[in-house]
Every structure is written in C-alpha cells, then in structure tokens.
Amino acid sequence: MIAPLLVAPLVPLLVPCAVPPLARRAVARLAPAAALWCLTATTVVLAVCSLAALGTLTLYGLLALPPFATLGELIHPLGAAPGLLPLAAAATGALAVCAWALPRSVLRQIREYHEVRKAADTQPTAGDLCVIDSPDPDAYALPGSPGRIVVTTSMLRSLSPAEREALFAHERAHLSARHHYHLAAVGLAAHCHPGLRPAGAAVRLAAERAADEAAAAATGDRQLTARAIGRAALATRAARRRPTVAPAATSGPVPQRVAALLRPPRPGVRGRRHLAAVAAGVLLALCACLSLAGAGAGAISLHQSVEIAQGERPGG
C-alpha cells in the first residue's frame, strides 16, 4: 500500500506544472468562449485534486504518529516508507498556507466588490451605464443585480460616439456571459497550487477575447471594435480601484487582442487550426483526468491502509 500512497498523490501536484504552456496554446487555438470554459473547468479540477492530494498526504502523516493513530481507532500507526513522512509534513504546511490564503482572498474580493458597488450606486445611471466624474479614463463591467457598466467622464471624452458604443458592447458581453465567475474561480484556484497562477492570465485573456468577438458581432465592425479597445487602452494611464473579478476592456495584452480582431480569416489553414484546437482541448482534458485518477487512487490507498491498520481486510 505504500507505493500508491507515495506516487498517486504526487500526480495531482505535478500535473498543474504543465498548465502554463497548455493554457497559452488553448487561448491561441480554441475559440475564445471555448477556451474560457475549457481553461476554467480544467483549472478548478486541478485545484480541487491538488487539495485532495495534500489532504491525503497530510492525513497519512498524522495517522503514522501514535497519538493520532489512537484517535483514529487504529490498532497500530500506519507504516511509513522512507521519504513519506517528510513529504506529508510538506503537504501539511502547503495545506495550511492554502487554508490561510483562500479565506483572505475571498474576504478581500468581497470587500473590494462592496466598496466599488456602493460607490457606483451613488452615481447617476442611464440604463446599465454608470458614469463617474473623474479625470482618469477607465471603464469596466461591474457584476451584480443589476450589472453595471462603470465608465468615467474622461474615458467618454477619449472616444468617439461609435467607439463608445463598441466599448459598451464589450462590457455588456462580460455581464451577459458572467465572465466574473470564471475570473473568481481561477483566482481562488491559483491559491491552491502555484502552477495554476499563469492560468489566471490565460483565462482573463480568453474572457477579453470572447467579449471582443461579441462586441465585433454587435457592432458589425471589427475594425471599429479594435480601434475602440486600442484607444481606450492608450487613454488609460492608471486604473481606478476596481474589484479583481470586474473585467475591463483595457486589461490583458491589448496589442494581441487588437491584432486578433484585425487579422483576416485564413481559410487555407482552417483544417490545421481545427486539429490544433482539438489537440489543445484534449491535452487539457487529459490533465484533468490524470489529476482525478491520482487523487482518487491516493484516497483509495489511504482508505485501504486505514482498514488494515484497524484490523480489517479491504472489502471485509
């Protein structure tokens, strides 16, 4: 039982290290909305599996100590292979850091949201538009009931009427697609494993690209949408304080997004791009399946070891 306990939980802890290159490839190859959902689901699964693996190692380390074995009603402590107890100690420390960082992140995001929401509710609105008198150009989608498009007077002055409509269409796409849930989920997942932190940037880019495409479809003019995003980004000198989960048209790699909007379709490479997109999705799904298998195998092996230590046979 020792080998599976030592090897299986390591799989969910190692797989997230492969996420950064796969996330970049997914954003580049998949359709923006598909990349957003695929990356969010994979990141959340990997985060949960890594926490489960840390919990398995921590529990095994505790039950290998006589006092905790007695509390667990074990006849004898679990046997420990060389290197397993130090690994369990490291897992316990990592789990403690996660338990400390996750609630802090949740509370911080809630506090930021309520502060900005309270300030926005005091401003005059026109439909879903909330205009703030400020010399700092900024615009973002503020989720809630109802959702609001927060924009400063300086940003309105920086854009032409047509560009404003393109910018508003972009932010409305964020609200209607509920992109803030994706940003919140991936932001919390990043606290569960350092290898998942780059996925946050990839998910934000995918959300912005999805909103870009929705705005281009709404306006019927891809060049206008690209110009509006580019001019809004150039006008933004320093972003106002906004919630972490509030998407904004000026965030992410704007030159890359503008280039994608201006890029003409290339029918000749459609087949290769389709295969590359499928491969990116399959690789992310494979990562999720490997993590699930490793976390499950580790939990099953621990359960069997506990049964034996209690004087029972597996299945008995």
269: pLDDT confidence band, cut at 50, 70 and 90? very low
* Rounded mean pLDDT, 63-79: 70
| Residue showing tokens 């689901």 | 41
Q: Closest Cα to residue 151, out of 179, 166, 171?
A: 171
Check pLDDT > 90 for residue 265.
no
pLDDT in tens, 241-258: 677 788 888 887 899 999
Of the given ranges (66-80, 132-146, 209-223), which has the lowest mean pLDDT? Answer: 66-80
Sequence-distant (6+) residues with CB within 8 A of 39 are 23, 26, 27, 186, 199, 202, 203, 206, 284
pLDDT confidence band for 316 (50 / 70 / 90): very low
Mean pLDDT of 201-206: 92
Rounded Cα–Cα distance for residues 164 and 128 (Å): 14
Question: Nearest Cα to 279, choosing from 11, 38, 14, 37?
Answer: 38
How many distinct helices (H) and strands (E) make up the chain? 13, 4
As a whole number, the mean pLDDT across the chain is 84
Contact by Cβ (8 Å): 185, 206: no
Higher pLDDT, 21 or 312: 21
Please give the pLDDT value at position 314: 47
- pLDDT for 109-165, tens place per residue? 888 888 888 888 888 777 888 888 888 888 899 998 888 899 989 999 999 999 999
| CA distance linking residue 249 with residue 233, whole number of Å | 8
* Most trustworthy range by pLDDT among 14-23, 77-86, 245-254: 14-23
pLDDT at 73: 64
Which H or E element spans position 186?
helix 179-189
The answer to whether residue 99 scores a pLDDT higher than 70 is yes
**What is the structure's pLDDT at 208?**
94
Is residue 270 very low, low, confident or very high in pLDDT (cuts 50, 70, 90)? low
How sure is the predictor about 223, in pLDDT bands with cuts at 50, 70 and 90?
very high
pTM: 0.85
Does residue 139 sit in helix, strand or coil? strand
Close Cβ partners of 108 (under 8 Å, ≥ 6 residues apart): 244
How sure is the predictor about 268, in pLDDT bands with cuts at 50, 70 and 90?
very low
Q: Where is pLDDT greater, at 303 or 272?
A: 303
> Is the model's pLDDT at 3 over the cut of 60?
no
pLDDT tens for each residue of 283-302: 889 999 999 999 998 888 88
Span 159-183, average pLDDT: 94
Weakest mean pLDDT among 76-90, 135-149, 183-197, 225-239: 76-90
Question: Within a 13 Å sphere around the CA of 177, how many CA atoms are in the beta-carbon half?
Answer: 26
State residue 79's pLDDT score.
67
Q: What is the mean pLDDT of residues 200-219?
A: 93
pLDDT greater at residue 303 or residue 237: 303
